[in-house]
Amino acid sequence: MPGSIGVKKINIAVFLSGTGSNFKNLIKHSKKKKSKFKISLAISDKSKARGLHYAYKYKINKKTVNYLNIKNSEKNILTELKKNKIDIICLAGFMKILSNNFIKKFKGKIINIHPSLLPKYKGLNTHQRAINNNEKFAGCTVHHVNSKLDSGKIILQKKVKILKTDTSSKLAKRVLKQEHILYPKALKKILSTL
């Protein structure tokens, strides 16, 4: 009698440029018994990105793409995505902007985590800007990626109270803790619609 076939897991690629703490966290969630996804590929624009260490540690295919020519870079990335049968792309601290062309090819299948309560504070230095404007809350947002920076449809958000004693680095640490909770939740939400 043939053995029972396991549930097919959704193949994920994680794009990163830095320390990879969200990448590491997604790997941890992918290893859980009931996980519906598998991280099959890590892409970075920096060969020395600390986050790539996790790809090595967990035997995940990895590819470094130099961004001297965006067209060639994206062509190389698309080849890797196809080769690894990637269904969804998770941006996790990836500091390059994807072209409209690239986004169209993966329409609705690219998500990003951003350290602010979008639509407020798109782009960089989000924590300092929130503090400077005397905001009561900062936070993080997981959203679909479209052709405008940090403007895609919001999937999930989490508020983090700004304390009087906060510096941008203290706030960033607390927001990052919430990112680690939010990103897998948002991914789960998306996977349930596929």
- Determine the Cα–Cα distance for residues 189 and 112; give it in Å rounded to an integer: 14
CB 182 within 8 A of CB 116: no
Distance of CA 185 to the CA centre of its chain: 12
Q: Is 143 a catalytic residue?
A: no
Contacting residues for 8 by C-beta, under 8 A, at least 6 apart: none
Query: Across the beta sheet with 37-44, what order do the strands follow?
Result: 61-64, 37-44, 10-16, 88-91, 110-114, 137-144, 154-161
Residues forming the active site:
114
